[in-house]
Structure 1
Amino acid sequence: MLFPALEHYLARLQETTLPKATSSEQSDDAELMSRNPANRVWLDSDGRVQGTYFNTTLTSVFQPIRQIAVSREDVNSPTSTDSIDISEAHKDTHKIVGYEGFAHSYSPNDNGLYLWKLLDHAASDDESIELDRLCRMLHSINFYRQSKEGSEAEQSPQNADLYLSVHARLLAAVDSNHGMAFRRILRLLGLPHENIVLQLPTITSTQSWLLNYVLDNYRRNQFRLAVNADTVAQAHGLLERVRPDVLKIDGRGLINDAETQRLLEITQKRGIRVIFKRLEKLRDFESVQKLAEQSFVLTGARIAGQGFFWDRPQASLGVFSASVRVNQSAMASPSQQAPL
């Protein structure tokens, strides 16, 4: 494992009772353990970290974020149409550039159930903060514990970005330094905060005061920020209000029009990554594929996609293909649709 502090923490979790620790280790354990004694963290027989939220057992699953393939990766001049054979685009592969973590209920037989409603039904602000932070801690541990020595692959945990959501309720509930507690946990575990992207929920125009406060605090703690947009028009507004590092846009029903092209021109100039999420059907993928090809030829911009068209969330990163080719039979059925 590439992270000695994390390895030490996992070794301590394997003990039924934590061994007698030094005063500094006791302090560290207090930072990493829940303030609510009913919520605890432990290892299962497969080495996955689980946590308890009241009577619910939680664990992590991950879904890849893939760069949309446009042509051979050795293109020398992406702004020249002569150098790109667009007819070859569908022969290219869609490599992994990041993963998003989701909280699922624990099941010994499968990946459990997605628990996105837990925060909505939390009884108090303190409990919502507790659950939100517990999930991010679980995801970080379960992601980076899968790092392997000597792995140079771009999709490996030590090289890929990890996207973690911040629930809307947490934004208003926290009255102190946003991101400080999570940054401290990452430091205690020796994990790279620079590879973690915090995803903010959709922000309304009436929340500008809150948004500015939250963004400032997360940036002070040196986190990169992603924001979610339901439409391209909404994404345009977020560019100026938020100045994000990443834009995640719903890719269902995408229209490749002047507004969309303008958005990609702006994000390319500002170095903002664009991810089209919820790609589940072939027609949605084809719209994003065409947009990716056109944008790459015109500006050199690369865009990314995420969805069940390629990958279902899984606990193990090893089950995902590092790159995939377009397979029209890979369309997800309605029963496979996931909340992303």
Structure 2
Amino acid sequence: MIPPTISSLVARAADHPSLREHLSLDEREQVAFASFGDVRLQSAYQPIFDVSMSGMQTLWSSPEQADRFGDELGFQALTERVDGEGFDPFDTVTDDRELVALDRLARTLHAVNFFGAQRHGLLFLRVHERLLKSVKYDHGQHFSSVLVGFGLNPARVIIELPSAAVAHRTFLGYLANSYQRYGFKVAGNLPNAGHILSVSDMARLDFIKIDGGAVLRDAMAKPLIAYANRLGIPLIFDRVATEAQFDALAQFGARFVQGPLFEPRKAYALR
């Protein structure tokens, strides 16, 4: 089977009424972009590294060359304006239905640029709490149908749930089961280390994410890693910003890390 290209995926988007007027191809750069009102949006990707690879032992001495080391578990998709600034639709859109439409557009944009460029690994896509409340049932159904229609595999997409959802065990279980039923994997952001106790068979997550700096400040890295290992769920330390943080997490046995330390252009933001 011939892998899809970005241009072929953008062409397929013309068959979707909600996409055809918004998703386009930048002929010069050969990347997809999305138009939302007078704003032009593009995709950016932050790598998530597996620091258990031997090459990553030298990462602290040359973080700007992070893409040369180790293996990448996958990439976190970030939504930017074409000028490189972060774009937060929750600051600009008040209507929930419009917000859901924009979120679906952004997810499709990131999937097109990710799969069409034949990136390896997993694609992590964040979901905002407000969106979870706006869609009442069958979370993941619409996006799964779009991906399958494009010939793309939902199993390579990680839906990343916000900390507010993870804090409620019953709601977390419902969301995880719904997204997994439609072929996705699910990650949950922990508000703090103690909320790992919310993760159970009721909410069987595929990944757990937490702020690495906060964990180190609270001196919870070692017990958190141990508990995640007992659960058998991979733990990703997010927002790793300094070499000292990276060093400390590695010494405690952290395996997966991401954050501004690994972005040469320092474009990381809350996106």
Q: What is residue 68 of structure 1 aligned with on the other side?
A: 51
The aligned counterpart of 1:187 is 148
**Structure 1 residues not aligned, in runs of 5+:** 19-28, 74-88, 148-156, 293-301, 314-331
Q: For 1:252 and 1:206, how far apart are their aligned partners in 2?
A: 20
Conserved in 2, the CA contact under 8 Å of 1:249 and 1:277? yes
Q: Which residue is equivalent to 2:139?
A: 178
Is structure 2 residue 265 aligned with structure 1 residue 304? no
- Alpha carbons 1:276, 1:306 under 8 Å: kept: yes
AA in 2 matched with 1:310: F
Q: Matches of residues 121-270 of structure 1 in structure 2 within 5 Å?
A: 121-147=92-118, 157=119, 159-203=120-164, 207-234=168-195, 236-240=196-200, 242-255=203-216, 260-270=221-231
Asked whether the 8 Å contact 1:196–1:224 carries over to 2, the reply is: yes
Contact 2:237–2:256 (8 Å) recurs in 1: yes
Describe the shift of the 1:204–1:194 C-alpha distance in structure 2 as closer, same or farther (beyond 3 A).
closer
CA distance in 1, matches of 2:11, 2:246: 43
- Relative to structure 2, which stretch is displaced further, 269-278 or 250-259? 250-259
Q: Offset at 1:90?
A: 4.2
**TM-score in terms of structure 2 length:** 0.83
Alignment match, 1:317: none
Q: More displaced, 129-138 or 204-213? A: 204-213
Note the C-alpha offset of 1:274.
0.9
Normalising by structure 1, what TM-score? 0.68
Residues 51 and 57, structure 1, Cα contact 8 Å, conserved in 2: yes
8 Å CA contact 1:6, 1:190 repeated in 2? no
Q: Superposition RMSD on alpha carbons, in Å?
A: 3.0
Q: Is the 8 A contact 2:169 2:199 kept in 1?
A: no
Alpha-carbon distance in structure 2 between the residues aligned to 1:202 and 1:239? 12
State the shift of 1:70 in Å. Answer: 6.5
Question: How far did 1:259 drift?
Answer: 5.0
Aligned length: 261
Q: Note the 1:67-106 alignment, pairs <5 A.
A: 67-69=50-52, 71=54, 89-90=57-58, 93-106=69-82
Q: 1:42 to 1:288 in 2, by over 3 A?
A: same
Structure 2: tracts of 5 or more residues without a match: 61-68
Larger Rg: 1
Distance of 2:167 and 2:251 partners within structure 1 = 35
Is contact 1:274–1:303 with CA below 8 Å preserved after alignment? yes
- CA 1:312–1:166: 2 relative to 1, 3 Å: farther
The aligned counterpart of 2:16 is: 30
Task: Describe the shift of the 1:268–1:134 C-alpha distance in structure 2 as closer, same or farther (beyond 3 A).
Answer: same
Q: CA deviation at 1:137?
A: 0.3
Identity %: 26
Matching residue of 1:52: 35
Higher share of residues assigned helix:
2
